[in-house]
Structure 1
Amino acid sequence: MDSTFDVIIVGGGAAGFFSAINIVEKNPKLKVAILERGKEVLSKVRVSGGGRCNVTHACFVPNELVKFYPRGEKELRGPFHQFCSGDTVAWFEEHGVSLKIEDDGRMFPSSNSSQTIIDCFLAATKKLGITLLTSQSVQSIYKADLYWKIETNTHQFVCDKLVVTTGSNLKIWEVLSNLGHTIIPPVPSLFTFNINDKRLKDLMGISSFAQVAVKETKLSATGPLLITHWGLSGPGILRLSAWGARLLAEKKYQFVIRVNWLIEETLEDTENVLKNLKLEHAKKIVSKYSPFNLTQRLWESLVVASEIAKETKWADLSKKQLQNLAQQLTQSEFQVEGKSTFKEEFVTAGGIDLKEIHFKTMESKLHQNLYFAGEILNIDALTGGFNFQNAWTGGFLISQAM
């Protein structure tokens, strides 16, 4: 086996392949290899988006796109001006893969299969003569004067330039910290909340647009909340978990959330609305009809939680019951007791400290000819194709730098 290369890429995932292909397309004379520790490459690409691969998001303005990154927002602004979602679409078109936009902005291959992306990458690496080596688990990385030496479980490799795209890999983070890089310890991001509360008990599957905040913090998010058999999920909760990843880890996932089911409405305004409803609908039964944009079952549950019997008429509501109902509608409090992983997509916040990276080239500030792309960095995003876009942009910048 040949062990000397111009460029070695450690990590056979999305960022690794995209880096390799773009490097050789721009520099055809370079001898490039990808080292992958597993038997298979691109395994995360295969399962992403339920096996369809959520390639990117139809957000084509760099300054808007960065807002989807709880970690990396500031740093990615420049890179996204170099290679953004529109460039991703064009790149895949040029390589024979058309993408389509779904209603929520997520973009998938028109084939609806992640295999299309995998086939595209494998065909390109073969055509460009990129060496692909699997079952190569990197044990150590040494910096010599003018080259890098990489030891795997079976071989030694030497290269001029080294690109590391291993995602959330604890072993590689340890190797890089031995080279002087600071690793921000990983904590989960994008998770759902475990809540055991009788108000939610029979409401599984109901989704409602709401504002949710972590009590006694500045952390809040707005978006659809989905009631599940273990608690709360949905985009609003995932957004809150991503932005609050570190804070919620410190709290050991035990905290109180406050939900405003009416979004912008205040407690006082809602109380006034309820007083008017009491006059307008005097003879009607409170629990029978939701006067707000809430599903009937959720409304009934909040009415019961306000200590209002199911057959009570609006005219018979006491001042205290009106206050209780306003409170449940705008300031429902739920005790969170732990978290659950969102689907199979385990996303972490953490990785190489962004202060140690040149974001024009993705090169290490500590070592020349050492580059990083993807989730190995302390960058993570909301769900919707954003983590892949970070991988494509990083890989493209590395290829330009070379």
Structure 2
Amino acid sequence: MSSLSIIIIGGGAAGFFGAITAAETFPTATITILEKNRTVLNKVRISGGGRCNVTHACFDNRQLLKQYPRGEKILRPLFNQFDATNTVEWFEDKGVPLKTEADGRMFPSTNTSETIVDCLLRTAQRLGVQVRTSCGVSTLEHKDGRWQLLLLSGETLSADRVLVATGGHPQRSAYGWLPDQAEDLIDPVPSLFTFNVPDSPFLSLAGVSVQDAKVYVVGTKQEQRGPLLLTHWGFSGPAILRLSAWAARDLATRHYQFTLRINWVPDLSENDLRLLLQDFRQQNGRKQVVSQNPCKIPSRLWTAFATESGIEEPQRWADLPAKSLNRLIERLTNSQFKVAGKSTFKDEFVTCGGIASGSLNLQTMESKSQSGLFFAGEVIDVDGITGGFNFQSAWTTGYVAGKHIGL
């Protein structure tokens, strides 16, 4: 009897993890990874600024689930099989210890993504997994009890089982090669992006960051709080990226044209801020408003707020008109900016949408309607915020698919 033949479509994090798990679980199976690009694990290589943010030090799965704008339903049962604790143990078992940074992100102790790439390549090779690059799949269909794959090169392959781990795609058409009776598809839209604000008065302050700001999409209930970064094109930083993820569908329907509201002093109510500024004025009446900043924001940004409020450089606190003070308070608590488009966050493109979780067996990652067809990674409608959460869902879904694909 011939050995079980398994083909993994996609040589990224989920594909490799699925292949390795399958090889460890079903050692007699023949396992092949097909990657359309000339190299594998490209996203692993570039992520985290070339350091690879492997996972997040969030070992309470109830908290971990809250980091996924889409995916809580699908990941809840999957984390019972393989979670962040398992990820850390898996890599340490392979000789790759991870370190935790102050914000909870976990990286290889070597501080280079090549350590993760080498680990996955070496482990796959040791287990006999075949890796073929420049092998894009044109069509996939089930005929005569087996899966038939037509490659872009014209070559045909067949397999008993197939794992689709092709990552996220921004266009629905990118999923067109899947079988005719393919799973329900949630329209893909981008997630995790920065905001373009061409009319921002702060473009010259690119590189200035605020440790704590609250950001809102006006006209929706979408809001987030955290560090914010001023850029040459508008705004970025964790608060913006989280907002882009949670509001991904809202922003897509608005074609990325919307009003962003920012509260730069979220710990203070408008009244508290007024009392703070009035008290500061009494204590520092002779000092210039532009250069004396009572708020916990960068001095360059404070100067810009003062200028925006019509406060000239010689203006002293003691002589500050009530109208100027009101304008300053309004800008600090309720700045509004016209967003006109988005930019990809570094090279880490993430998709909201893909294969609907309802069409999969959430214990195995197998299609409910098509026996022998499995899915893992970002091709599914799962996406996390920044911080290692997208890789964690790749390891988890890849592991579960690999564990069950040979049964």
Q: TM-score range by the shorter chain?
A: over 0.9
Question: In structure 1, what is the equivalent of residue 135 of structure 2?
Answer: 136
Q: 1:197 to 1:310 in 2, by over 3 A?
A: farther
What's the counterpart of residue 187 of structure 2?
A: 185
Q: Which runs of 5+ in 2 are unaligned?
A: none
- Aligned-partner Cα distance in 2 for 1:299–1:73: 40
Shift of 1:88: 0.7
1:48 equivalent in structure 2? 47
Letter in 2 for 1:62: N
Would you say the 8 A contact 1:5–1:33 is kept in 2? no
CA distance in 1, matches of 2:117, 2:282: 63
Q: CA deviation at 1:69?
A: 1.2
Indicate which of 380, 383, 387 corresponds to 2:386.
383
Contact 1:267–1:331 (8 Å) recurs in 2: no
How far residue 66 of structure 1 moved from its aligned partner, in angstroms, is 1.4
Asked if the contact 2:70–2:384 (Cα under 8 Å) also holds between the matched residues in 1, the reply is yes
| Alignment match of 2:256 (pick from 253, 258, 265) | 253
Deviates further, 113-122 or 90-99? 113-122
Q: In the TM superposition, what whole-angstrom CA distance separates every residue of 1:119-155 from its partner, at most 9, and x where no partner exists?
A: 2222222222222222222111112353211121332
Residue by residue over 1:8-39, the C-alpha shift from the partner in whole angstroms, topping out at 9 and shown as x without a partner, is: 11111111111011111111122221122222
Cα offset, 1:4, TM superposition? 8.6
**Partner of residue 283 from structure 2, selected from 280, 285, 289:** 280
Q: CA deviation at 1:363?
A: 1.2
> 1:324 is matched by which residue type in structure 2?
R
In the alignment, the residues of structure 2 paired with residue 52 and residue 147 of structure 1 have an alpha-carbon distance, to the nearest angstrom, of 40
Q: Which residue of 2 aligns with 1:324?
A: 327
Q: Within 5 A, what are the aligned runs for 1:212-231?
A: 212-231=215-234
Look up the match of 1:65.
64
Distance 1:14 1:179 in 2: 27
Per mean C-alpha deviation after superposition, the further-off stretch among 348-357 and 143-152 is: 143-152
Q: Please give the per-residue CA displacement for 1:162-208, whole angstroms capped at 9, x wherever unaligned.
A: 11000125666112362232222222211111113463143221111
Is contact 1:5-1:158 (8 Å) kept?
no
Partner residue of 1:176 out of 175, 178, 188: 178
CA contact (8 A) 2:141 2:179 kept: no
Unaligned runs of 5+ in 1: none
Whichever residue aligns with residue 79 of structure 1, its letter is L
> Following TM superposition, by how much is the alpha carbon of 1:330 offset from its aligned partner in structure 2, in angstroms?
0.5
Is the aligned partner of 1:160 residue 2:160? Answer: yes
Which residue type is aligned with residue 159 of structure 1?
A
Matches within 5 A, 1:2-401: 5-144=4-143, 146-152=145-151, 153-169=153-169, 173-176=175-178, 178-197=180-199, 199-208=201-210, 209-401=212-404
Structure 2 letter corresponding to 1:290: N
Across the two proteins, how many residue pairs are aligned to each other?
400
Which whole-Å CA distance do the structure 2 matches of 1:252 and 1:68 have between them? 25
Residue 5 of structure 1 and its aligned partner are, at CA, apart by 4.9
One-letter identity of the residue aligned with 2:165: T
- Greater Cα offset, 291-300 or 177-186: 177-186
CA 50–288 in structure 1, closer or farther in 2 if over 3 Å, else same: closer
CA RMSD of aligned residues (A): 1.9
- TM-score, length of structure 1 as denominator length: 0.94
1:294-323 deviations in Å (ceiling 9; x for gaps): 111111111121222222222222222222
SS of residue paired to 1:364:
coil
In structure 2, do the counterparts of structure 1 residues 336 and 96 end up closer, same or farther at CA, with 3 Å as the change threshold?
same
**Secondary structure at the counterpart of residue 367 of structure 1:** coil
Q: Residue 205 of structure 2 aligns to a residue in which SS?
A: coil
Distance in 2 separating the partners of 1:74 and 1:329: 38
Q: Distance in 2 between matches of 1:199 and 1:36?
A: 45
* Partners of 1:79 and 1:397 within 8 A in 2: yes
Alignment partners' CA distance in 2, 1:154 and 1:96: 40
For residues 191 and 308 of structure 2, the distance between their equivalents in structure 1, rounded to whole angstroms, comes to: 32
Hey, what's the Cα distance between the residues in 2 that align with 1:249 and 1:315?
Answer: 48
